[in-house]
Amino acid sequence: MKPAIMRQMPEIAHVDVNCFYASAERVFDPSLEGKPLIVLSNNDGCAVTRSPEAKALGIQTGDPWFKLAPRAREWGLIAKSSNYELYGDISARVMELLGRYSAWLEVYSIDEAFLGVKGSPEHLLDLGRTIKAVVARNVGVPVCVGIARTKTLAKLANKWAKHNPAFGGVCRWDSVPPDQQEALMARLPVIEIWGVATRITKRLNAMGIQSILDLKRADPVRIRERFSVVMMRTVLELQGTPCIPMEEARIGRDQLIFSRSFSTPITTAQDVRQVLSVYAQMASGRLAKHNLQAKLLTAFAGTSHFNARQAAFPSVCVPLPMPTADPVILTKAAHALLPAIVEGTRYARAGIMVTDLRPSGNQKPLELFENPHEERHIGPLLEDITRRYGRGSIGLGHAGIRGGPDWTMKRGMRSPRYTTHWEELPLVKAA
């Protein structure tokens, strides 16, 4: 192969936003710049995102807020409740922008994406720097870019770019001399690699595989025998052979979960019924939006892990009579949990999950089994009204009860929804 052709081999760029939630908060509140900042999980439970300054204080992901709060003033620590509408909009802007740099974009999570890229090494590094600069200018959040022949190496290159300031936020794996690549891989434990879970790490360690370099040098066939084909792919990807393709939309084989912790525990079957109704209708709307139907619904509730005396985690799995997105059927199915609910027990969370999803409408059910509600498009209608008039403006049965059900989330420290609500626009001072 001629070198000129070699240079045109397709590569993969992995782009992700640094400390995404914290960075999104800082776009509209520059006073947060340089200060230790954490964003809390649902219900203001624990730290889910930490700014570098918060990391420097020794705060860990998952630290509960009630433990940090007493010392926040002394540390100058600022905490924000999750502002999902803001993060969702900022994410959408970043992804739209990334899509301008590659015809193939795989949105991997709210703050990261893979892009298919092609060009000479210099061109690819330039592209990485351009992406970084344009996202910072247009949207206002910092990103790092890792570029490599495989997704696994692109992720690793990105991590390297984040930790080593010498890269300026952009690292192309093959542009780094091999001895430096090996030194890095020898230093990092296998747990640092994408797709390697804690449980697997223990088994790898038992085989004498400690570092990423050890894993790269492992025999792929032996790894497949001991673990799985998934793990073998990781080994091959570390060696530079692309094995994890750019994904087609996988949402169809996935699942949808709607589950929250409550600000105050709920204790009656009536309240649980209301929660399940709301989530069933949210699931219906989401399914309809993606043209999907579910075949299985799981409803669950649970007491707090801090409440050992009353521990109860009832759940039911309900096979649906036919693949459906119908809100009435999903709501009814979710209510199958109710007989398992014990009055007086303090439930701290509840939710539903729909699985076994399939595209709607490619197999027409027999007319006998056709569902009367779906014909009337109740699900999309509910979703449409909700979108226009806000969550809680309409609902079926028990989800329709208004007047602040007290199980909704606690979000006392949420910043304004700057980009999605006209009443909450960012303020600029004319003074």
Partner 1 sequence: MGVIIGPRVIDAGLSLHLAWLSPVPVAAGYPSPAQDYFDGRIDLNAHLIKDITSTFVVRVTGDSMERAGISDGDELIVNRALEPRDGSVVVAVLDGELTIKRLRITPGGVVLQAENPKYPDIRVSALSELTIWGVATRCLHHV
Nearest to partner 1 of 126, 247 (CB atom)? 247
Structure tokens at 204: 């790898």
Question: Left (φ > 0), alpha (ψ -120 to 50) or beta: where does 356 sit?
Answer: left
Query: What are the two backbone dihedrals, phi and then psi, of residue 150, each rounded to the nearest 5 degrees?
Result: -125, 160
* 219 binding partner 1? (CB under 8 A): no
Select the residue interacting with partner 1 from 28, 160, 167, 262 (CB under 8 A): 28
Structure tokens at 38: 């954490």
* 197 binding partner 1? (CB under 8 A): no
* Subset of 100-119 contacting partner 1 (CB under 8 A): 100, 103-109, 114
What is the SS3 assignment for 151? Answer: helix
CB of 199 to partner 1, least distance (A): 20
Alpha carbons 14 and 155: distance in angstroms, whole number: 6
How far from 424 is each of 44, 210, 365, 410, CA to CA, in Å? 21, 50, 46, 19
Select the residue interacting with partner 1 from 5, 31, 319, 369 (CB under 8 A): 31
* Subset of 139-168 contacting partner 1 (CB under 8 A): 139-140
Q: Which residue stretch of 66-74, 99-107, 141-149, 347-355 sits at the interface with partner 1 (rule: CB under 8 A)? A: 99-107
Give the contacts of 38 (CB within 8 A, at least 6 positions apart). 22, 47, 48, 49, 50, 51, 54, 59, 68, 77, 78, 79, 80
DSSP state of 398: G
Side chain identity at residue 23, one-letter code: S
* 97 binding partner 1? (CB under 8 A): yes
Print the binding letters for residues 239-258 with partner 1: x by CB under 8 A, - otherwise: -------xxxxxx--x----
Select the residue interacting with partner 1 from 7, 55, 93, 226 (CB under 8 A): 93
Select the residue interacting with partner 1 from 73, 137, 305, 309 (CB under 8 A): 137
CB of 247 to partner 1, least distance (A): 4
Number of chain residues interacting with partner 1 (CB under 8 A): 41
Nearest to partner 1 of 93, 217 (CB atom)? 93
CB of 20 to partner 1, least distance (A): 15
Q: Which residue stretch of 138-146, 215-223, 310-318, 395-403 sits at the interface with partner 1 (rule: CB under 8 A)? A: 138-146
* 265 binding partner 1? (CB under 8 A): no
Select the residue interacting with partner 1 from 2, 5, 30, 403 (CB under 8 A): 30
Structure tokens at 66: 């009630």
Print the binding letters for residues 391-430 with partner 1: x by CB under 8 A, - otherwise: ---------------------------xx--x--xxxxxx
Alpha carbons 352 and 335: distance in angstroms, whole number: 10
Q: Which of 366, 269, 348, 254 is nearest to 303 (CA)?
A: 348
- Residues 288, 380 contacting (CB under 8 angstroms): yes
**Geometric angle at alpha carbon 350, from 346 and 354, rounded to 5°:** 160
Alpha carbons 277 and 394: distance in angstroms, whole number: 12
CB of 360 to partner 1, least distance (A): 18
DSSP state of 122: H
Strands 170-172 and 143-148, by their bridges, are: parallel
CB of 417 to partner 1, least distance (A): 12
Q: Which residue stretch of 135-143, 257-265, 298-306, 372-380 sits at the interface with partner 1 (rule: CB under 8 A)? A: 135-143
CB of 356 to partner 1, least distance (A): 17
Cβ-based neighbour number of residue 152 at 10 Å: 28
Nearest to partner 1 of 80, 216 (CB atom)? 80
**Geometric angle at alpha carbon 50, from 92 and 184, rounded to 5°:** 90
Catalytic residue among 11, 53, 112, 237: 112
Nearest to partner 1 of 61, 420 (CB atom)? 420
How far from 309 is each of 262, 302, 312, 346, CA to CA, in Å? 19, 13, 9, 10
Structure tokens at 297: 């619904």
Alpha carbons 324 and 359: distance in angstroms, whole number: 10
- Residues 317, 298 contacting (CB under 8 angstroms): yes
Select the residue interacting with partner 1 from 8, 66, 96, 186 (CB under 8 A): 96
CB of 410 to partner 1, least distance (A): 27
Is residue 96 annotated as part of the catalytic site, yes or no? Answer: no
CB of 78 to partner 1, least distance (A): 12
Catalytic residues: 112
Provide the binding-site residues for partner 1, judged by CB under 8 A: 28-31, 33, 93-97, 99-100, 103-109, 114, 137-140, 246-251, 254, 418-419, 422, 425-431
